[in-house]
Amino acid sequence: MAVIGQDISRAKGVLDAGELVAIPTETVYGLAGNALNPAAVASIFETKNRPSFDPLIIHVPSLGAAENYVTNIPSPLRKLAEHFWPGPLTLLLPRKSNIPDIVTSGLDRVAVRVPDHSLSLDLLAQLDYPLAAPSANPFGYISPTSPKHVNAQLGDKISYILDGGNCKVGLESTIVGMEEDEIVVYRLGGLDISEIESIVGKVTVKSHSSSNPQAPGLLESHYAPTKPFILGNLNEMVAYYQEREVDFAVLSLSQSFPAVPVGNQIALSPQADLKDAATHLFAAMRTLDESNATVILAELMPEEGLGKAINDRLKRASTKG
């Protein structure tokens, strides 16, 4: 198992040696390595078992630091960075040649963000390279929102996890770029579209076009538990599985089910607050995946605010008929 601690200089030592460290961010934990060192980046892909055509986000301590790795920042995207960095926003920007091909899978744009977590910002400020970091989970599985989640799955492959507690946003960053004059959202995430639109006006959401080769690795099946994960009307599904005497677990927004054992159900937010629900989503999916149920039943959230990003994750996690 990896050591879990808050020692920034230890984390720096591991990274300087070309090895990987799990780092906390406000969204999810990242599996970080020196983005300018192709061998370190290669070991990220290997550790996660991630296909190398799926490019990585680089993490920097500030907008000023981002300028070292991109040739220019279109003004609407600069405005977004000024408003929302540090925060759950990733920008796709034209890369400088100092960013190795392996980081972007050969694409012309590099994904950049400034994470909102004091430990990781302190660490980044001490490094003379950005950190490439995908979510710290095996490819395709649920993203980790606590050091324990990371240790459970990657603990035998990395030596150190920087402990920043539970992630406060709980959903990956929203990914934004430009195509001609159009502002495009490629992945729904922790920064709500309406907040983005309040700064730069109307945006286009392309997060579902899996046919678009420029789109982020939006593979249809992702964020998935190992158990069958079924989306639908919870009251109907609960009745159906109860009748058939199947051991099931229930993931709801706020509803509880008196006939289902407490250990087999999680309401994401008793107040039906979507931000709160986002924070708890991945941990809840893991808990139910580890329960003794044979199937997990879940419902979609209202399609508003962060509900859209949560629904995106739920749909990708769900078992296709």
Q: Which residues bind ligand TXA (CB under 6 A)?
A: 25, 27-28, 30, 54-57, 90, 92, 104, 107, 109-111, 115, 133-135, 172-173, 175, 216-217
Residue 38 phi/psi, 5-degree rounding, is -55, -30
Name the binder of 92 from ligand TXA, Mg ion, none, CB < 5-8 A by kind. Answer: ligand TXA
Q: Is 27 annotated as a binding residue?
A: yes
Least distance in angstroms from the C-beta of 117 to Mg ion: 17
Q: Is 113 annotated as a binding residue?
A: yes
Of 175 and 267, which has the nearer Cβ to ligand TXA? 175
Q: Is 59 annotated as a binding residue?
A: yes
Q: Is 187 annotated as a binding residue?
A: yes
Token digits of residue 128: 């003379």
Name the binder of 147 from Mg ion, ligand TXA, none, CB < 5-8 A by kind. Answer: none
Per rule CB under 5 A, is residue 173 in the interface with Mg ion?
no
Of 110 and 203, which has the nearer Cβ to ligand TXA? 110
* Residue selected from 43, 135, 207, 291 as contacting Mg ion according to rule CB under 5 A: 135
Q: Is 252 annotated as a binding residue?
A: no
Contact residues: Mg ion, CB under 5 A: 135
Known binding positions: 27, 50, 59, 113, 133, 135, 143, 173, 187, 223
Known binding positions for ATP: 50, 59, 135, 143, 187, 223
